[in-house]
Structure 1
């Protein structure tokens, strides 16, 4: 059995991340996703004479349509894979639940997903179609329902964004990115509970320090690692509040068109990793996220979900703290939109406000 969720887990080390990367690579749950290199910035309405080279990491090409199986692979590494294995429960409104359900089906595990009653019907139906149990309840009751399942029915809780093993698994994206783009200077990606951005920040910082150690840097040379921007919706900014309050923050009223970036609280482990490894916080609004989603569909033929657009929206609408230079990579984290939404994106006309 894997260890129970610990909100005060130790900070990850490079050895932890290397072990997790090996687990992810051998899991059969993920694919190495491509990078669109040297994207013409004019295609997205950016200046032609930008001082950076724009690259898009297409994590939306993952098998389940998002990055989530990276963390799940490590969470499940210690579990038995047969039908008599443990009963697993999680809470999710979307991509983690989708990936959790797919993995439970593939490994014949007993799974239960608790979903907010506000979740779109097509998401509930898809997750249920994978053979796992689904129960819905108000968002404010999700954690207490999970706790009751663990205490009274023998379930084991897999946290959807803050398990230390999950963060280590998500760090595989950062290590993979460094193999594909070794000289990356800036990384932009969306942040909800913080698991992905925490893992990527840890991977880039620890790997950069390791490279300098191997080069026998002089005593006065400071380790240099890429700048990681964790981008949130203005109306669902638990990680920004956490940075401001110097502790994990809650925001029960969090709402956004990017539902995957609107958890009711920031992950405690994720916050500590983001803070320790020097990640920076940026905010965008829903209109900017929507405009970015439409530009990707119209101009690059990429259908991605709103949560995947926050990082690029920060670039498109000039939210960065300083002008970027060098190699800039935006991670497009997921593609799971309904067929109806995909058709609307492709049919959308130009928006003068963009």
Structure 2
């Protein structure tokens, strides 16, 4: 994606992508945004925090199923429908919806993902009649591999350092087309729809806090907010300290890679994206770091308050509660919970 400049990301492009995502046959929804004070979550900072519940994003339903049908008629749901009730969502379906809408149907695609993008990629592949392969780090939960394979997509588990090598092999030897899971113009434009939804509910936020892995979501949200005229809004990305590729990229003023390790596997790609880095450098105030202990505590705190959020999805929350974001007193703050892709087998490893 190095040939695509940040200048290619315009407000018109993002508005067009917003309409594509809104009308996507993949069933992307406008997720709720609630005030922190409406929850039982602890907050020692005197500010007005709103939580964008992207962990409630729908991934996997071919048709919307109402809450009434789920709760009152569960016995009459098909086996396929029942299996999909557990498919908690993430923001990734937004970018995938725009990405696949701009690719030919029936293609043969390969990507790399620790889980959430792979799940959305697999669902879209099935819907559009495409063949797909997901190259996953061997550290990712096996349950995610099984879930992706259930959509008819092949999964190859490799060491994190070998992800890109295996993708390149698939492209060169098998003739597959690479769809990047975070360094892709169409994908980032699709993710920007999340930023536009935030502005529909809070037109001029003072601070927006977003998780950061390769930087696709952070770049899209930041571009949407800044290009919409919110010049004074401070936008922060949050990374695990064991997978701080964007933080290091900011320091070195170029995209860099590193050997990553974190409980938040979705935030631990081996390198920062080129286009995301350029956009983040232009629109993001800074990148703050959290550790795995803070992430683990955040998952437990959210769960005790009735919110199922995966380690990667709670990074922004962890940064706020641990005082990593400066000057929040009296401010209107948006905290994005970016995904809920965590199973019961994983939740037992978290205290409380």
Q: Place the TM-score, normalised by the shorter chain, in its bin.
A: 0.7 to 0.9
Aligned to 2:208: 187
Q: CA deviation at 1:123?
A: 1.2
Q: CA deviation at 1:7?
A: 2.2
Contact 2:235 2:283 in 1 (8 A): no
CA distance in 2, matches of 1:16, 1:10: 13
Pairing 1:7-18 to 2, within 5 Å after superposition: 7-11=2-6, 12-18=9-15
* 1:142 partnered with 2:163: yes
Partner of 2:229: helix, strand, or coil?
A: helix
Q: Deviations for 1:104-132, whole angstroms, at most 9, x for unmatched residues?
A: 11222111111122222111111111111
* 1:320 partnered with 2:325: yes
Aligned to 1:235: 242
Q: CA deviation at 1:51?
A: 3.4
Q: CA deviation at 1:270?
A: 0.3
Aligned to 2:227: 206
The correspondence for 1:308, drawn from 313, 316, 322, is 313
Partner of 1:21: helix, strand, or coil?
A: helix
CA distance in 2, matches of 1:176, 1:161: 20
Pairing 1:162-311 to 2, within 5 Å after superposition: 162-208=183-229, 224-251=231-258, 253-298=259-304, 300-311=305-316
Aligned-residue Cα RMSD (Å) equals: 1.6
Q: Deviations for 1:51-109, whole angstroms, at most 9, x for unmatched residues?
A: 3111110001111210001111111122233xxx2101101111001111111112221
CA distance in 2, matches of 1:166, 1:109: 17
Q: Deviations for 1:128-176, whole angstroms, at most 9, x for unmatched residues?
A: 1111111222222211221121122221110001101111110110011
**Which segment is superposed worse, 27-36 or 114-123?**
114-123
Q: Deviations for 1:194-216, whole angstroms, at most 9, x for unmatched residues?
A: 0000001101000016xxxxxxx
Please list every run of 5 or more consecutive structure 2 residues that lacks an aligned counterpart in the other structure. Answer: 60-88
Contact 1:91 1:97 in 2 (8 A): yes
Contact 2:29 2:58 in 1 (8 A): yes
CA distance in 2, matches of 1:78, 1:189: 26
CA gap of 1:247–1:254, structure 2 versus 1, over 3 A, is: same
Q: CA deviation at 1:38?
A: 4.5
Aligned to 2:21: 24
* 1:108 partnered with 2:150: no
CA distance in 1, matches of 2:137, 2:148: 13
The correspondence for 1:133, drawn from 151, 154, 161, is 154
CA distance in 2, matches of 1:137, 1:288: 28
CA distance in 2, matches of 1:161, 1:112: 16
CA distance in 1, matches of 2:348, 2:56: 19
CA gap of 1:278–1:119, structure 2 versus 1, over 3 A, is: closer
Instruction: Please identify runs of 4+ aligned residues in structure 1 that moved more than 4 A.
Output: none
- TM-score, normalised on structure 2? 0.87
Please list every run of 5 or more consecutive structure 1 residues that lacks an aligned counterpart in the other structure. Answer: 1-5, 210-223, 350-354
Q: May I ask how many residue pairs the two structures share in their alignment?
A: 320
Q: CA deviation at 1:325?
A: 3.0
Pairing 1:144-163 to 2, within 5 Å after superposition: 144-163=165-184
* 1:90 partnered with 2:111: yes
The correspondence for 2:55, drawn from 53, 60, 66, is 60
Contact 1:44 1:316 in 2 (8 A): no
Aligned to 1:220: none
- TM-score, normalised on structure 1? 0.87
